[in-house]
Amino acid sequence: MVSLKKILSIYLSIYLSIYLSIYLSRSTYVYLSISFCSYLSISFYSLFISFCSYLSIYLSIYVSRSAHIYLSIYLSIYLSRSSHIYLSVYLFHSAHILPIGVPTDVFADTYNSTAIVVTWTPVKNNRHFMRGKILGYQVNWYDRDLDPDNPLKYSQSFFGADLEEVIVIGLVPNGYFWVTAQVFNTAGLGPVSESYLGSTGMEAPLTYPTEVNVYTKSENSVLVTFRGVSFGLDEGRVEGYKMCYWPVTEKWNPENHCIELGNIDQAVIENLEKDTLYKLRVMAWSGDGDGKKSELVYFTLGGRVSFDPTVYEVLALGSQIRSFLVTLCLAAVIASLFQTS
């Protein structure tokens, strides 16, 4: 009968294994693995401690149905039987081929006076249509009213494999634009989709509110009144107004400092702080965007105030210079006292 101690002593071994495994399915995978493993076993009667360390080098070759070859080399280190760490050393593959997939159902809708929303049905992200890794889509457009034989075309790339909607900005108001889309991978662009004619909105309000005044309302609110605007033939109908106000010590943020009003010419601003100077601008807005802002108005809880920021900056600079001179004089006096003593 073989003793347990003898079995454990046989367990101490160092071996080298090389194996090749081939997995065949819809694509062909070839793995070449070289593994080194060492076992160290120590037995003290009924106590058994085992330590195993693996060093494995994997060379994997991937062959797809479209005859693309991807070669990747990985270095993996196994710290134990249940945990491991993979370290990628190299990852390279053959050059991609231009995709043959085409975005379908291309559509362009008005976003505002200078932008349109372009949507499409994405290309299937597989080897047959993409012939590589999809990177994103390119949207092309040109003005319908320009020379049709030699139009000035523009393009913009948007990255993302699952994109199906983007916003194109910087267009001319009241314009019509032919829009197409293309998918691209690392090799380049695929075929151009069918064209769709989209349009931008009308002009946002071109005039700004005037006669902006601020009056005290309560201990923490003020009343703002202004003269509204009218709109022309090329402008969208005015839907309402916006009041934007913020302390002079802060930067303007339209998301936090603007109040959206209806089609009215006065409103109350509440929850103001004492001893704080605010800036105020009023603008009209329509479905095509925000209009021009009114002239800058300064106010406090006491109402509108006259304020010249250039004079304020000069006074602030003068105050800093005066403080510096006072400090310099004090330093000179202290130095002279030390010398006399």
Q: In three state form, how does the secondary structure of 149-206 look? A: CCCCEEEEEEECCCCCEEEECCCCCCCEEEEEEEEEECCEECCCCCCEEEECCCECCC
**For residue range 134-181, what is the model confidence (pLDDT) as tens digits?**
889 999 999 988 876 777 889 999 998 888 999 999 999 999 999 999
Whether residue 77 sits in one domain with residue 14: yes
* Range name among 93-102, 213-222, 282-291 with the lowest pLDDT average: 93-102
Q: Among 43-57, 245-259, 276-290, which range has the highest average pLDDT?
A: 276-290
Q: What is the pLDDT of residue 126?
A: 77
Whether residue 154 sits in one domain with residue 170: yes
What distance in Å separates the CA atoms of residue 149 and residue 143, rounded to the nearest whole number?
Answer: 12
The residue ranking higher by pLDDT, 327 or 81, is: 327
Whether residue 128 sits in one domain with residue 77: no
For 293, the domain range is 210-305
What distance in Å separates the CA atoms of residue 239 and residue 244, rounded to the nearest whole number?
Answer: 17
Whether residue 235 sits in one domain with residue 154: no
Domain boundary among 170, 199, 228: 199
| 310-to-166, 313, 317 alpha-carbon distances in Å | 43, 5, 11
Whether residue 132 sits in one domain with residue 71: no
**In-domain check, residue 147:** yes
Query: Which of these, 178, 205, 206, 203, lies nearest to 193 by C-alpha position?
Result: 178
* Range name among 158-162, 190-194, 315-319 with the lowest pLDDT average: 315-319
Q: What is the mean pLDDT of the chain?
A: 73
**In-domain check, residue 226:** yes
pLDDT band, residue 321 (cuts 50/70/90)? low
Whether residue 279 sits in one domain with residue 228: yes
Whether residue 291 sits in one domain with residue 221: yes
For the four alpha carbons of 126, 127, 133 and 137, in that order, the dihedral sign comes to: negative
**In-domain check, residue 214:** yes
What distance in Å separates the CA atoms of residue 45 and residue 40, rounded to the nearest whole number?
Answer: 16
In this structure, are residues 137 and 164 in contact, taking their beta carbons and an 8 Å threshold?
A: no
Whether residue 142 sits in one domain with residue 84: no
**pLDDT(194) > 90:** yes
**pLDDT(17) > 90:** no
Cα-based angle 124, 128, 129 (whole degrees, multiple of 5): 45
Domain boundary among 38, 70, 93: 93
Domain count, the chain: 4
In this structure, are residues 231 and 263 in contact, taking their beta carbons and an 8 Å threshold?
A: no
Instruction: Give the CATH number of the domain where residue 134 resides.
Output: 2.60.40.10
pLDDT band, residue 123 (cuts 50/70/90)? confident
Whether residue 296 sits in one domain with residue 218: yes
Whether residue 126 sits in one domain with residue 189: yes
**pLDDT(198) > 80:** yes
What distance in Å separates the CA atoms of residue 123 and residue 315, rounded to the nearest whole number?
Answer: 63
Whether residue 195 sits in one domain with residue 121: yes
Exposed / middle / buried, residue 113 (Cβ in 10 Å: 0-12, 13-18, 19+): buried
**For residue range 34-63, what is the model confidence (pLDDT) as tens digits?**
444 433 333 333 333 333 444 444 444 444
**In-domain check, residue 17:** yes
Order of strands, sheet of 165-168, starting from the edge strand that comes earlier in the sequence: 104-112, 115-121, 165-168
Q: What is the dihedral of CA 144, 146, 147, 151, to 10 degrees?
A: -80
**In-domain check, residue 99:** no
**For residue range 3-14, what is the model confidence (pLDDT) as tens digits?**
554 444 444 433
Domain boundary among 51, 68, 93: 93
The arithmetic mean of pLDDT across residues 206-211, rounded, is 93
**In-domain check, residue 98:** no
pLDDT band, residue 240 (cuts 50/70/90)? very high
Two tokens, residue 207 = 């005039």
* Range name among 48-62, 80-94, 216-230, 243-257 with the lowest pLDDT average: 48-62
Q: What is the pLDDT of residue 224?
A: 95
This prediction's pTM: 0.58
Whether residue 189 sits in one domain with residue 214: no
**In-domain check, residue 218:** yes
